[in-house]
Amino acid sequence: MGLGLFGGGVGVTKFLVRHGACVTLTDLRNASELAPSIKQLEGLPVSYKLGGHYEEDFVNADMIIVNPAVSKDSKFLQIARNNNVSLNTEMNIFFKLCPAQIIGITGSNGKSTTTTIIGQIIQQTQRKTWTGGNIGKSLLIHLKEIKPSDIVVLELSSFQLEELNNIKKSPHISVLTNISPNHLDRHPTMDDYIKAKKSIILHQGFEDYAILNYDDHELRRWERECKGNICWYSTKHALNNGVFIKDDNIVLLINGNKALIPNISRIKIPGDHNLQNILAASCASYLAGANKSHIKNIITNFTGLEHRLEFVSEVNGVKYYNDSKATTPESTIAAIKAFNAPVILIAGGYDKGSCFEEFAETCAKYTKAVVLIGKTAEKIRGLILTKKGVQKAPSIIKSNTFKEAFEQANTYAEKGDVVLLSPACASYDMFINYEERGRQFKEMVNAL
């Protein structure tokens, strides 16, 4: 249920077909919208029910594999429950069958960057490394190849963790980047969202590790619920046991061992939030067997991921950055503060129930202009106007289309400025996903 475009639906379908299952794929989207996923399943004996769901499929199935994007309140899932049809997820199946140790990464922001850095660092060691999960790659189809001596690095969303809680599984090493309001269109309350995230530590044993951001007030409260070993990391505090910054060094002080990774000034990805991601990744990699030279090599050469504060180009002295993956106000706040240059921000989109108060304040203080799009445009505009009061900057503009927003941002941009796409919102009101939004932005920049 829910083939989707991020790989999980394709991965679990291939896995099930390989094991002799008779698979029906159903999705609210039509075949043309799902074309990239359908193409990957070409030649496989599967049935498609697209453009809507049919009640009989949820009555007559042996098992429903539910995509993480599907709401728990779906009437079709209730039909399945009423008919005693087993519900499962791609990630739950993987956790049950994976023979290798798992490093799981979650948080409201920074998951993908942290996951990628961990995977790249451990890849340099003697251990075969597999990276996937919510980052957009299913590892189910590689289960046969994964050995007990390997290491698996998984990005985990709140929706995946919520389901994982039902089978009482947590990773061997759990990494928490931060907690801030997110997906409140799907989780009834902030407490429900936090509870879903907490599943990543709840079922750990005394030999497992929880790597927590000491600078995050919510995560600091989790200490008493950790059954395994806690390893803190911080960009602001020296720690007795954990990872922190001293002068131009990363200090790893873990289980009585001390290692220094020098020259953090050579790190290429901007912003304090990315430094936090690097500390978390360094800690997890070190616990998984990486040494300081493995860590230093990757963190000083890593240039970032597509759609995550990605430098696109410089045109007439104006630098363009694609941060389309910033779907929360907190991630956009971090992006704005990562620059010393004047910022022209393109923001807005689908409303996930986020609070924009602090975001509006950051825009009022640190941006030159804000161009707004999508369903949240009017709400954000009102908040920024309130926060900026009588001061002249920033200029606030509402646009009807993405192209128009880009053109208006360019009219404000002068040599030395930054044009930043960092929406603080999801993309679903105007785009298929954040990737399409980012690609369109890059196409417009390159057309300049």
Per-10-residue mean pLDDT for the chain, 448 residues long? 88 96 95 93 96 96 93 94 96 97 95 96 96 92 96 95 93 95 69 93 96 96 94 95 94 93 89 94 97 96 91 96 94 93 97 91 97 96 94 94 98 97 93 94 97
> 3-state class of 299 per DSSP?
helix
Tokens of 76: 């079709």
**Total-model pTM:** 0.84
Q: Name the E strands within 124-196.
A: 129-133, 151-155, 173-176
Q: Please report the pLDDT score of residue 190 as a whole number.
A: 84
Closest residue by Cα to residue 325 from 134, 70, 191, 160:
134
- Tell me: cis bond preceding 329? Omega within 30 of 0 counts: no
What distances in angstroms separate CA 36 from CA 9, 32, 431, one per listed residue? 12, 9, 15
Q: Please report the pLDDT score of residue 71 as a whole number.
A: 87
> Are the C-beta atoms of 434 and 324 separated by less than 8 Å?
yes
Report which residue type is found at 81. Answer: R
Report which residue type is found at 430. Answer: M
Q: Please report the pLDDT score of residue 144 as a whole number.
A: 94
Closest residue by Cα to residue 239 from 204, 213, 265:
213
Domains along the sequence of the chain with CATH: 8-88 (3.40.50.720), 91-299 (3.40.1190.10), 310-447 (3.90.190.20)
Q: Please report the pLDDT score of residue 23 as a whole number.
A: 97
Report which residue type is found at 435. Answer: E
Between CA 155 and CA 303 the distance in angstroms is: 19
> 3-state class of 135 per DSSP?
coil
Q: Please report the pLDDT score of residue 183 as a whole number.
A: 62
Looking at the DSSP assignment, which residues form a beta bridge with residue 151?
A: 101, 129
Tokens of 252: 């790893």
Q: Please report the pLDDT score of residue 270 as a whole number.
A: 85
Between CA 30 and CA 423 the distance in angstroms is: 27
Neighbour tally for 192: CB within 10 Å: 15
Between CA 329 and CA 321 the distance in angstroms is: 17
Beta carbons within 8 Å of 149's beta carbon, 6+ residues apart: 100, 127, 128
